[in-house]
A and B are shown apart, each in its own frame.
Chain A
Amino acid sequence: MKIILKGGRIIDPSQNIDKIADLIIEDDQIHSIVNDIDCSDSDEVYHCKDLWVVPGLVDIHARFNEPGHKHRESILTGTQSAASGGYTMIGYSPFTTPPIDNTALINHIIDESASPESGGIYLAPISMASLGGIHQEIVDIESLKEIGVVAISDDGVPIQDPQFFWKVLKSCSEVNMPFLLDPRDTKISANGSMHDGSWAAVLGLKGIPSLSEEIMVARGCLMALHSECQTHIMRISTAGSVQIIRKAKLMGAPISAEVSPHHLIFTDRDINEYNSMFKTMPPLRSEKDRDALIEGLIDGTIDCICSDHTPYTHYEIDVPFEQAPFGSIGFDTAFSSVYTHLTKPNILSPLETISKLSYQPANILGTEGGSFMAGETPFAQITVIDPMKTWTYDVNDSFSKGKNSPFHEREFTSKVLLTFCGQEVYRSKDFDPKRHAINMQSILA
């Protein structure tokens, strides 16, 4: 089977390509990038003039809540939401109930990933660092690696004990396994519900100091340096964290870092009058922090952008602010929000944008993705985007069961039209087969 994506703007940071060309897929694999190919012998042709054709987006970690809280998200609804946002590969967060910490649960995720339910989206398994997530016994990292675990993490239950943390990093380092760090001192952040800034003082809410993150980022950087464990710092939010990571990289610490779109766009002031859609962990910080995060993203201190997908149902968030859970969904809006606020105003180039959302996250996880290089990925992972399309996001239209998004009713420029995951193809309702498809009798019919 031969599919051609014709005449699109092909952006592939792995090969430093940004040009108008044709992308050929043969037998579900990327075959080549060529100029103006004859389409007569192809089975399907997508006419991609004025569209971006990029490697499928990759998210280092996201919360699906399966097992434990399928009312918030299941693999089916999570992967549908991911595909609609252009994602083809997701690190599956172990922060579930019970936490994912053994081969049986990992195998379950691997099986689910291969099942038709997941729509071809590759769910890369991540294991909790300790059995039960209570940080007393380290999981069997070597065995977990053998069956396909791509990283170890303390997502959602940050390790506080420095000695235990040190042992985890050394164990990961021993088998060359990346560690995904949730940088939060839970004592310093205890009972807080928003950034410890001037707006928290007005609203009468207990603040979460920047210090609660920065002290753990600093500890993580130093421990990574000394243990030589590849450490990825998840969801940073403060100017201090950016500075610490910048210095640690200069010192040679084997670290990488990520930021979410909402921390690049919003501040604590957007909480306005107790709007729990803006209650995230880490919290939205000050304007100074937001500017430092953007600067860190531009100069490469921050390697990639995560969706920070953390779904909760409408009834769970429709409570007074202090009682609302932390988090927001992110698959649907990650690309469009980054494009609208950073790419369109030329803060990030198109190549940098795709690098932060696809190539870099795949690289950090050590997985095959984020590239159009032939043979680089086991199956074709491609996202096709209309960069001109303007639309207004309605969280109620999301495939996700989560209805918590700070982007609800926000206007975006750019929209994902197609997501290819091997044989599976997600088509947005904005995809117009009459305009974009040729030789596709099945679609046109």
Chain B
Amino acid sequence: MIRDERGAAAIEFPLAVAFLLIPVAYLVLMVAPWSARANMARLAAAEAARAIVLSPTADPDDALVYTLVDTIAANHDIPVGDVDADLCVTDGMTDVEKAAATCDVLVRGSVVTVEVTVRIPLVRVPSIGETGGFSWTWSHSELVDQFRSFDP
């Protein structure tokens, strides 16, 4: 018996597009922002640590560094609320201590470490919203130059 398959494409095509092509393409597109946000955290941590060790005075302005991190987040179209920076953290600090840590006085030859945490949404639909997610933290350390001077 020969079955008549005329008209099958009219059903198969929308089904294949709706349940196969678009979901797979969406999954591929969804992974790119994860990488973009991780890269932003890496860059922000590096720039923040660098800004601290390049401070003209021995007492770096933390507010300027936070502003720099916010600017980098904005440059990457990431909401500022999704980014958190902990300045001048040291090994063994708890999360609470890291959040309260400030950069007091720079010492030549010391190491300054900055941690930047960014929230990465699991599923994000542009113009609609996002759900789920996880956080990713990048740490970067810079050495305060041994022979640098400080403004009085």
Q: Do A and B come from one complex?
A: no
- Interface residues, chain B, CB within 8 Å of chain A? none
